[in-house]
Amino acid sequence: KQANIGVIGVAPMGSNLALNIESRGYTVAVWNRTGSKTKRFVQKNAGKNLIATYSLQDLVKTIKKPRNIVMMIKAGKPTDIVINNLIPLLDKGDTLIDGGNTPFKDTIARNKKLDKSGINFIGMGVSGGTSGARFGPALMPGGQYSAYKNIKPILDKIAAKTPDGRPTEIYCGPNGAGHYVKMVHNGIEYADEELIGETYTILRHLCGLDVDKIAAIFKKWNKGELDSYLIDIFANLLAKKDKKGTPVIDIILDEAENKGTGKWSSEDALNLGVPQSIITEAVYARFVSMLKEERAAAKKVLNGPSKDEMVKPTADVVENCRKALYFGKVISYAQGFEQLRFASKYYNWNYHFDQIAVDWEAGCIIRAKLLQPIEQAFKKNPKLPNLLLDPYFAGVANKYQDAARKISALAMRNGVAIPCFSSAVSYFDEYRTPLSPNAACIQMMRDTFGDHGVFFRNDIHRQGTRLHLSDLENSDK
Ligand code: 6PG
C-alpha cells in the first residue's frame, strides 16, 4: 500500500499532525528516529491508515510520487541530519516540509541548498499546539509555489477554518517567508501574554480584586472586542485551584521561560530597523522574570514608591483596564504587521497582509476577533504602512489612549511594572508626532562628536543637503 504523504517525527506535534491528515482520508507513512516510538504510535492507532516505516529508505519507498514529506522534529541539527540523509533518496520534484519553529534564515539556506538537487523545500509555520495539530492548526507555508500548490489540497483539509469557513493556510511567499510569519506570530504571542499578565497584576495587586473576580472579568471581556484564544484560556486558568482551594496562579513559580522565537522576532526587527518595542519589552520581561534570586535580593535594598495606594476597583477602573489592554494589543499588532511590511520588502516576499490576518483568525495561538478588522484594513489598502493609520484603528487608539495613559500612570505611580503598557503608550506618542525633539537632540550630539551632519527641518522631508552644526554657527556670525 502506498501512502499519500510522509510524516517524520512522532513526538506530540508530529503524531497529532499525522492523525489529523489521516482523519481527512489520506494514508500517512510515519518514521521516527527511535523505531520503537513509531511502532507504539501505529499500534496505538491500529485500524487507521498509518504505515509504520523503520528506515528513511522505507519511508521514501512507501510514499507516492511526487513525494510530500512533513518533518515535525526538533529545529536545528536534527533537521539538517534528516535532510542530508534524505537528499540521496529523494527524486527531483519531491518536497520536504519543515513544520518546526525554525529560524527563517535556516529555511532560506535549506531551500537554496535543496533547490540545487531539484528538491522543493517548504518552511511551514504550524501554530495551535498539539490540539491544533490534531484538529486544525493555522499553517504558514513558504517555499516553491508549485510545491505548495501540490500539497495545498491536504493543507486546506487539515487547517482550522475561520468563522466564515476559510482554511487558515495561506501561501506566504518563497523560501523563509512562512517561517518568518510564524516568528512574528510568536512575537505577538509573547506581547499578548505579557499584556494580559500586566492587566492581571494591576487588577489583583493594585486593585486588590480576588482571583475569582478577575477570572469573571476576563470571561466577560472575552465576549467583546478582546475575544481571543489567550483571554479565553487565561480566564479558565485563573479559575483553577489546587486540592486546598488555593488558586494555581498563587503557587506556581513566577519565572516565564522562552524557547527563543520572540527573541528572534525582536532580533530581526533590530536588523531591519523597524520599531518593535512591545514584543521586545515582552521578551525582556521574561528575561527579568528569570532573575528570581536577584529579584529577591533586590527587594531587600530597593524600595517602591513612598506610599502604597490601593486603587478602588470601580467599574471605571476595570473598564479602563479593558481599554488599555485592547489599546496595547492594537499597538502590538500594528508593530507586528509593520515588521512584516519591512521584511516583505527586504527579503522580496511580496506578503499579502490581509491574507496573513486571515491565516491568524483561527487555529493559531494569537487567534482573536481583532484580526477581522485587520484583514479589512489591509483589504481596503494593501499598502497601508501601519494599522494605526487605518480609520478603524486610528479611532480605537484615539478613543482608548486616555484609558491606557490612566492605567499606565496608576501602575507606575504605585510601583507595578508595566513594560508593555508603557511602551505601547510611548510608541503611540512617538509615532503620532511629526516633530521629535529627542531626535533633534541626538543628531546635534552625533554631529558634534562624530561629524555626522544634520539636515534643516521642514514639515516632512529632509531639506537641502547634509550640513554641520559648525557651518550653521559660522553662517550666523
Ligand atoms: C504555537 C506556539 C508554539 C511555540 C511556543 C513558543 O503557535 O503553537 O507559538 O509554536 O512553540 O508557544 O513559545 P515559548 O517561547 O513561550 O515556549
Q: Give me the CATH number covering residue 257.
A: 1.10.1040.10
> Quick check: is 300 catalytic?
no
Q: Is residue 129 part of a domain?
A: yes
What was the pLDDT predicted at 455? 86
The DSSP secondary-structure symbol of 456 reads E
293 CA to centre of ligand 1 in angstroms: 26
- Nearest residue (by CA) to ligand 1, atom 16, is 258
Domain that residue 300 falls in: 182-431
C-alpha cell at 350: 511580496
Terminus-to-terminus CA distance in the chain, angstroms? 91
Q: Is residue 171 part of a domain?
A: yes
> Quick check: is 281 catalytic?
no
Answer yes or no: do 369 and 245 share one domain: yes
- Give the span between the Cα atoms of 116 and 55, in whole angstroms: 25
The annotation status of 328 as a binding-site residue, yes or no, is: no
Q: Is residue 437 part of a domain?
A: no
The DSSP secondary-structure symbol of 95 reads E
Answer yes or no: do 284 and 387 share one domain: yes
Residue numbers of the chain with a pLDDT score lower than 50: 476-477
Answer yes or no: do 163 and 301 share one domain: no
Give the ranges where 202-311 is alpha helix by DSSP (H): 211-221, 229-238, 261-272, 277-289, 292-301
Ligand 1 atom closest to 259 (CA)? 15
73 CA to centre of ligand 1 in angstroms: 14
Mutate to test the pocket of ligand 1, among 101, 184, 190, 258 (most ligand atoms within 8 A of CB): 101
The DSSP secondary-structure symbol of 226 reads T
- Give the span between the Cα atoms of 222 and 232, in whole angstroms: 6
Answer yes or no: do 322 and 252 share one domain: yes
Answer yes or no: do 122 and 229 share one domain: no
The annotation status of 176 as a binding-site residue, yes or no, is: no
Answer yes or no: do 108 and 247 share one domain: no
Answer yes or no: do 136 and 231 share one domain: no
Answer yes or no: do 132 and 201 share one domain: no
CATH of the domain at 27: 3.40.50.720
**Contact between residue 133 and residue 126 where contact means Cβ atoms under 8 Å apart:** yes
Answer yes or no: do 290 and 339 share one domain: yes
Q: Is residue 439 part of a domain?
A: no
What was the pLDDT predicted at 467? 83
Cα–Cα nearest to 114, from 63, 171, 71: 71
Of 175, 198, 216, which closes a domain? 175
Answer yes or no: do 281 and 356 share one domain: yes
Its pTM stands at: 0.96
Q: Is residue 170 part of a domain?
A: yes
- Nearest residue (by CA) to ligand 1, atom 7, is 127
Q: Is residue 440 part of a domain?
A: no
Residues 6+ apart with CB under 8 A from 326: 225, 226, 370, 396, 400
- Nearest residue (by CA) to ligand 1, atom 10, is 127
Answer yes or no: do 151 and 250 share one domain: no
365 CA to centre of ligand 1 in angstroms: 8
Answer yes or no: do 145 and 16 share one domain: yes
Count of structural domains, the chain: 3
Of 175, 203, 221, which closes a domain? 175
CA dihedral over 307, 308, 312, 317, signed as positive or negative: positive
What was the pLDDT predicted at 474? 61
131 CA to centre of ligand 1 in angstroms: 13
Cα–Cα nearest to 358, from 345, 349, 367: 367
- Give the span between the Cα atoms of 16 and 21, in whole angstroms: 9
